[in-house]
Amino acid sequence: MCQRGCNAMQRRRGSLAPVDMPLGERAEQYGVTVTMGAKVMEYSCAAPALTVAEADLLALGAGTATIAVRQIGDWGASQPARTQITLS
């Protein structure tokens, strides 16, 4: 069980699997980027959850958006975990 109650993601053979693991960082911090074409929205959050306002998503328009999440640590940012969603 994670000492701070966090749910982290661990890369295994090209997929992401949820695991409970201590982060070993002074603070929990994530950077989230939502990209659709030339439109980019960036967010920062201190929890492994983010709610994006409907108006922000509507501003992207319709199509496929890529979401990239990085853990921001004391020594830098992790490689991004990416997924795509379709907005209509």
CB atoms within 10 A of CB 7: 12
Looking at residue 40, the DSSP 8-state letter turns out to be E
Query: CB under 8 Å to 86, separation ≥6 — which residues?
Result: 63, 64, 65
Alpha carbons 9 and 82: distance in angstroms, whole number: 12
Question: Residue 7: pLDDT band by 50, 70, 90 thresholds?
Answer: very low
Give residue-wise pLDDT tens across range 20-75.
444 566 778 899 999 999 999 999 998 888 999 999 989 999 999 999 999 888 88
Question: Residue 13: pLDDT band by 50, 70, 90 thresholds?
Answer: very low
Question: Does residue 26 sit in helix, strand or coil?
Answer: coil
Q: Domain map of the chain by residue range?
A: 27-87
Question: Residue 16: pLDDT band by 50, 70, 90 thresholds?
Answer: low
CATH of domain 27-87: 2.60.40.3760
Q: 14 pLDDT exceeds 70?
A: no
Question: Residue 17: pLDDT band by 50, 70, 90 thresholds?
Answer: low
